[in-house]
Amino acid sequence: MWFEETHNDFFKQAIRVEEKLAEVQSPYQKIEVYRSKEFGNVLVIDGHGMLCDKDEFIYHEMMAHVAMCTHKDPKRVLVIGGGDGGVAKEVLRHPEVHVDMVEIDEEVVKISKEYFPHIGDWENPRLNLTIGDGIEFVKNCQPKQYDIVLVDSTDPEGPAEGLFNRTFYANVFRILKDDGLVVAQGESWWIDMPLHKQIMGVMGEFFKIVMPYRFEMYMYPGCNWNFILASKFYHPTADIILQRADLIDGLRYYNSDIHKASFVLPNYVKQELGDLYKW
């Protein structure tokens, strides 16, 4: 059998799977888990492939460590979404960092603990998990609480829709300290350039540095995937903390060369982004 994903109305991709291991309809979304011989277990939310055992480390390392090795001395990190636990686990590889994680759907956490037990670091005493809406959380949060915010969300639909708009980023800006920075799921400049530009534009209303970076996610439509780093102060390539970037144990993708190279943009992307690219 095949898990087939349709993206927008013009792109389809499929991977062979052996069986469906779980299906849960939560109050927010439909969550499925498949077993694949080639990709391991596969997490699907509302028909979209989220992650698989084979390449989840790329996404999680690239969301966590680019931010953690750009900021001079991160101590408090907020993760919005990330219910599989992967981004939080990567952040917690950095000693003395405390992670607040706000995930709206408890079913995602439960299913991840059962079918992807190696991805999370749930028992870590430096992790504080809240089951709640990240939109409400940032709205009600006191100013200047966090060094870094990581928005590891699903696509801008359903419960995640409000994680991509101006109100949300006004609040993210407000709860970040004066040298804070945010990294968000930026979709793909290859298969979704209009949406990518829209997210860049919203972040650019508040932050002086707004730079996308790329990595490959074989599970995602078209493979090329982008995060966007927006920063009040530090620059992701000029201020990279090299000694930290190459000293983190256990990484399988991220290193200081990948960090720097991921911010190199193709000509067509630079031309398309124009002034949205604030570097």
Looking at the annotation, which residues are catalytic? 152
User: Using N-to-C axis directions, what is the helix angle for 193-204 and 166-175, rounded to 10°?
Assistant: 50
Taking CB under 6 A as the criterion, the residue among 34, 59, 116, 227 binding ligand SAM is 59
Among 61, 84, 90, 147, binds ligand SAM (CB under 6 A): 84
176's CB contacts (< 8 A; 6+ apart) are 144, 145, 146, 147, 148, 149, 182, 232
Task: Assess 51 for contact with ligand SAM (CB under 6 A).
Answer: yes
Q: Is 163 in the site for ligand SAM (CB under 6 A)?
A: yes
Smaller CB distance to ligand SAM: residue 81 or 236? Answer: 81
* CA pair distance 171, 11, nearest whole angstrom: 34
Q: Does 133 bind ligand SAM (CB under 6 A)?
A: yes
**Which H/E stretch holds residue 243?**
helix 242-245
Compute the distance between CA of residue 21 and CA of residue 228 in angstroms, rounded to an integer. Answer: 33
Q: Tell me the number of residues near ligand SAM by CB under 6 A.
A: 25
Out of 3, 17, 34, 56, name the contact with ligand SAM by CB under 6 A: 56
Unique residue bearing structure tokens 């969301």: 63
> Which listed residue (17, 80, 269, 273) binds ligand SAM by CB under 6 A?
80
Q: Which part of the chain contacts ligand SAM (CB under 6 A), choosing from 52-60, 90-98, 169-177, 253-261? A: 52-60
d(CA 170, CA 29): 26
Task: Confirm or reject binding of residue 83 to ligand SAM (CB under 6 A).
Answer: yes
Q: For residues 214 and 200, what is the distance between their CA atoms, to the nearest angstrom?
A: 14
Q: Catalog residues that contact ligand SAM under the rule CB under 6 A.
A: 50-51, 56, 59-60, 80-84, 86, 102-105, 108, 133-135, 152-154, 159-160, 163
